[in-house]
């Protein structure tokens, strides 16, 4: 009777003793290594590979395994703030700040006297320097948290549960997430006023009652309403809020500090405060170009109220967020700003240089802001045009490249690809061409 070939599969102890496995143990946890060994052994038991190949396969898989499964991606879509790619890529200064924050740091310690200090004081100082219109600042873990904290603290916590908002600003963002659902989840009641396309100041005025705790204005950043429409400006709302001694919360969305000639209709944190908002909310990882964060700027009295609410602890930003946010604000530029203001002629020259070496065409291609900012604003640029069949090998190589696929074409837009990555991009395009040709 023939011997069972499965008896030839190396034992776990023998495989763990291999020099290559021992070397991998310096960068991978024991359970990760054992899982890989077990998986390969099972493949051999099921006859999917020969017992003699087990050690080699394990070594190969260990070499390809890293502590994180996140893969770096070259964003060749032309969409600057790409939610699926983690929104804003950080500046060099912000990345270095993350490395510093990875160790012990003076997060809540005054090194001069050795006593406890306030958390995030340096990020707060950077915010107030960038937006001097604000008296005080608070950072939480994302924009939704900031909105929930502000509406809850200024209404329910004051036993005034209603928040007045225009129906045209009941925004749904990505993945079916709706801001009204977030707000009411903490017990806030929404007093919806006006129509989807038109809201005037009298709509707000008639909705104010003895149960009203705050007024809220939300920038509908991921869509716009054209045609027969009207909305109320912040200045007018601020005047009405003062008449009734109500706080005005303004969510500007994308975190633009000051006006930008490319995005003339995008609201800014500075302008909202100048126009009379009591507290302004913005995201850190959009047009600001920083880490995921919820930024609250406004009057000292209100910011202090928000900071004392129990939700502020639940929404607290960690040391990495605070470090990266501070560095972003203190840096001369960010990858988001650079991509937004990329020179069209330079993009064309880079694209043509690569395309000429591949024998393909360059076509006009409009980039987008993305991430709920600059809705409908085209960013004129260019793209290398390839067959759609290139998309899969580009996404699945190293580094991964995410192109835009549209109308049967694979479009490679260099707006968000750093110029020092052009050679790596060209190499990957050639590899994809070879794979497609097989």
CB 348 within 8 A of CB 363: no
Average pLDDT over residues 164-179: 86
Confidence grade of residue 5 (pLDDT, cut at 50, 70, 90):
confident
**DSSP E strand boundaries for 286-387:** 294-298, 361-367, 379-387
Q: List all residues 6 or more positions away from 33 whose beta carbon is below 8 Å from its beta carbon.
A: 16, 21, 24, 25, 62
How is residue 369 written in tokens?
């802001």
What's the pLDDT tens digit per position in 266-300?
999 999 999 999 999 999 999 999 999 999 999 99
Q: Is the full-model pTM beyond 0.75?
A: yes
Mean pLDDT of 90-102: 98
What pLDDT, in 10s, does the model give residues 354-366? 999 999 999 999 9
- 238, pLDDT greater than 90: yes
3-state secondary structure of 171: coil
Question: Which pLDDT does position 223 carry in this prediction?
Answer: 76
Domain residue ranges of the chain, discontinuous segments joined by +: 5-64, 73-83+338-437, 91-331
What average pLDDT does the chain have?
95
CB contact set of 276 (below 8 Å; sequence gap of 6+): 234, 235, 237, 238, 239, 241, 242, 248
* pLDDT at position 171 over 90: no
- State the CB neighbour count (10 A cutoff) for residue 58: 23
* Section 372-376 average pLDDT: 83
Contact assessment for residue 369 and residue 340, using Cβ atoms and an 8 Å cutoff: yes
* The token pair that represents 330 in the structure block: 């203190």
Alpha helices, DSSP H, located in 155-285: 179-184, 201-207, 234-243, 269-274
For 73-83+338-437, CATH gives: 3.90.1150.180
The share of the chain scoring above pLDDT 90, in percent, equals 90
Of the pLDDT bands very low, low, confident and very high (cuts 50, 70, 90), residue 3 is: low
CATH 3.40.640.10 assigned to domain 91-331? The reply is yes
Which position has the token pair 């099921």?
A: 46
Which of 84-88, 113-117, 331-335, 372-376 comes out lowest in average pLDDT? 372-376
> Is the pLDDT at 438 greater than 80, yes or no?
no
Q: In what order do the strands lie in the sheet with 409-413?
A: 73-76, 400-406, 409-413, 379-387, 361-367
Q: Residue 216's closest CA among 134, 297, 155, 131?
A: 155
H/E run at residue 306: helix 300-308
Tokens of 113: 């006297």
pLDDT digits (tens, 9 = 90+) for 413-433: 999 999 999 999 999 999 999
Residue 103 has pLDDT above 60, yes or no: yes
């Amino acid at each position: 009777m023939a011997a069972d070939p499965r008896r030839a599969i190396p034992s776990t102890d023998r495989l763990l003793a291999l020099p290559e496995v021992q070397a991998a143990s310096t960068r991978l946890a024991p359970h990760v290594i054992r899982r890989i060994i077990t998986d390969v052994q099972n493949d051999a038991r099921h006859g999917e590979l020969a017992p003699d190949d087990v050690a080699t396969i394990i070594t190969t898989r260990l070499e390809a395994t890293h502590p994180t499964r996140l893969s770096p991606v070259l964003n060749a879509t032309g969409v600057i703030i790409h939610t699926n790619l983690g929104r804003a890529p950080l500046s060099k200064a912000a990345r270095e700040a993350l490395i510093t924050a990875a160790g012990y740091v003076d997060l809540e310690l005054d090194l001069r006297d050795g006593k406890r200090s306030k958390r995030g004081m340096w990020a707060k100082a950077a915010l107030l320097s960038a937006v001097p219109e604000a008296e005080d600042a608070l950072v939480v873990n994302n924009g939704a948290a900031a909105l929930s904290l502000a509406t809850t603290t200024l209404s329910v916590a004051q036993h005034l549960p209603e928040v007045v908002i225009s129906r045209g600003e009941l925004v749904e963002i990505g993945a079916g997430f709706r801001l009204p659902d977030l707000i009411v989840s903490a017990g806030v009641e929404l007093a919806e006023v006006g129509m989807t396309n038109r809201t005037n100041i009298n709509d707000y005025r008639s909705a104010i009652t003895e149960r009203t705790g705050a007024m809220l204005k939300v920038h509908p950043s991921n869509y716009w309403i054209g045609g027969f429409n009207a909305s109320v400006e912040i200045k007018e709302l601020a005047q009405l809020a003062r008449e009734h001694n109500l706080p005005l919360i303004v969510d500007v969305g994308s975190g633009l500090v000051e006006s930008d000639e490319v995005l003339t209709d995008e609201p800014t944190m500075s302008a909202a405060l100048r126009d009379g908002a009591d507290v302004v909310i913005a995201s850190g990882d959009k047009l600001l170009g920083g880490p995921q964060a919820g930024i609250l700027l406004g009057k000292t009295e209100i910011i202090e109220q928000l900071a004392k609410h129990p939700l502020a602890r639940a929404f607290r930003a960690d040391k990495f967020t605070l470090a990266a946010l501070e560095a972003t604000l203190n840096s001369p530029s960010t990858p988001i700003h650079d991509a937004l203001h990329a020179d069209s002629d330079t993009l064309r020259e880079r694209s043509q240089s690569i395309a000429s070496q591949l024998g393909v065409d360059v076509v006009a291609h409009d980039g987008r802001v993305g991430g709920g900012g600059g809705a409908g604003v085209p960013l004129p640029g260019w793209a290398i045009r390839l067959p759609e069949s290139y998309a899969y090998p580009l996404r699945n190589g190293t580094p991964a490249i995410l192109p835009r696929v549209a109308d049967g074409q694979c479009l490679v837009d260099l707006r968000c690809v750093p110029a020092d990555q052009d050679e790596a991009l060209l190499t990957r395009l050639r590899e994809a061409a070879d794979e497609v040709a097989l």
